[in-house]
Amino acid sequence: MAKNKIPIIEGLFTWPSDKPQLIASKCKKCGTVTFPKAAFCANPDCEKKRDNVEIVNLSNTGTVWTYTTQIYAPPAPFKKEPFEPYGIAMVDTSEGLRVLGILTTTDNVKLGGKVELTAGKLYEDDENEYVTWMWKPVS
Among 22, 23, 24, 27, the residue binding Zn ion under the rule CB under 5 A is 27
Q: Which is nearer to Zn ion, 46 or 90 (CB)?
A: 46
User: Which range binds Zn ion by CB under 5 A, 25-33, 66-74, 94-102, 109-117?
Assistant: 25-33
Q: Which is nearer to Zn ion, 43 or 63 (CB)?
A: 43
Distances (CA, A) of 39 to 8, 13, 103, 135: 21, 16, 29, 26
Alpha-carbon gap, residue 42 to 59, rounded angstroms: 20
Sequence-separated (6 or more) residues with CB below 8 Å from residue 88: 67, 68, 69, 70, 100, 101, 102, 103
Contact flag: residue 22 with Zn ion (CB under 5 A): no
Residues 105-124 that bind Zn ion (CB under 5 A): none
Cβ at position 39, least distance to Zn ion in Å: 12
CB 41 within 8 A of CB 51: no
Q: Which is nearer to Zn ion, 29 or 80 (CB)?
A: 29
Cβ at position 50, least distance to Zn ion in Å: 12
Query: CB neighbours (10 Å) of residue 57?
Result: 13
CB 95 within 8 A of CB 116: no
Residues 28-47 that bind Zn ion (CB under 5 A): 29-30, 32, 41, 43, 46
Enumerate binding residues for Zn ion (CB under 5 A): 27, 29-30, 32, 41, 43, 46
